[in-house]
Amino acid sequence: MTNTIKQKEIMKSIQLSKNHIHKSPWNGYDIQDQYVPLHEGYLFNIIGVIQSALRQYPKILVIRFDLRLPEGFDKMDTAVISRFFDSLKSQIHEDYLRHVSKGKYVAHCRLRYVWAKELGYRSDGLHYHVAILLSYKRFCLLGNFDYDEEPDLTKAQKSMVWRIRKAWVSATYQMAKPSLVHFCTNGKYVMDRKSPGLEKQKRNVFYRLSYLAKVETKETVEGRTFGCSRN
């Protein structure tokens, strides 16, 4: 390891340590303190995305999943996550246009998201933890979790599960198989502004997503290790 690389890692570690959170609660919200330290700036970003989504839509669908890089993929290609979201946004817009072409009114749906890139200690390798937030009125169902070898365009038109898989295959230049998208256990949440249980729903989502703010496994990763949608 060169001195330049060592200096970069040291500076990154110092910068991270200034904003570490070591115990729950944080600003009145429970966090997954079994994974502390968590980065406070990332926690602010996460709650900001949640609040922005709830301001725009009365009911929100949240989906948690992981994206794994295919064997042989260039791990220095840090733009892969941007291509993933661009593809998913494009598919959501295409779905809107299909409805309009059939004379059906549907509202636009803005995609909001949070992601974290980590390097696993064992066999996980470099991977992304992702959460997306959508209008429940537009997308209330995920679809089937069957794993075929290749993405099916028809399925991608009808299923958010397959839109996500198709986006990852596209982002990796067709190298990824659908099975490299892992949908997390109990990874679907709904937040409803009209529900008397909204505060609990929001707290449950924030608690789940606080995992993405953990510092461990991010220190040695090249490039950005966390990102989210704006506004």
Q: Which one of 71-80, 121-130, 193-202 scores highest in mean pLDDT? A: 193-202
Note whether 93 and 10 are within 8 A (CB).
no
Q: Which of 83, 128, 65, 117 is nearest to 223 (CA)?
A: 117
Report H helices in 18-159. 40-56, 80-101, 153-158
Spatial neighbors of 148 by CB under 8 A, at least 6 apart, are 178
Query: Which H or E run contains 60?
Result: strand 59-68
pLDDT confidence of residue 4? 61
Query: Which H or E run contains 113?
Result: strand 112-119
Is pLDDT larger for residue 86 or for residue 224? 86
Does 117 score more than 60 pLDDT? yes
User: What pLDDT band is residue 179 in, cutting at 50, 70 and 90?
Assistant: confident
Q: What is the pTM of this model?
A: 0.87
Note whether 213 and 118 are within 8 A (CB).
no
Query: Which H or E run contains 74?
Result: none
Number of H helices, E strands in the chain: 6, 7
Domain ranges across the chain: 3-228
Phi/psi for 116 (5° steps) reads: -140, 140
Q: For residue 143, give the 3-state DSSP assignment.
A: coil
Q: CA 79, 83, 85, 90: dihedral to nearest 10 degrees?
A: 160
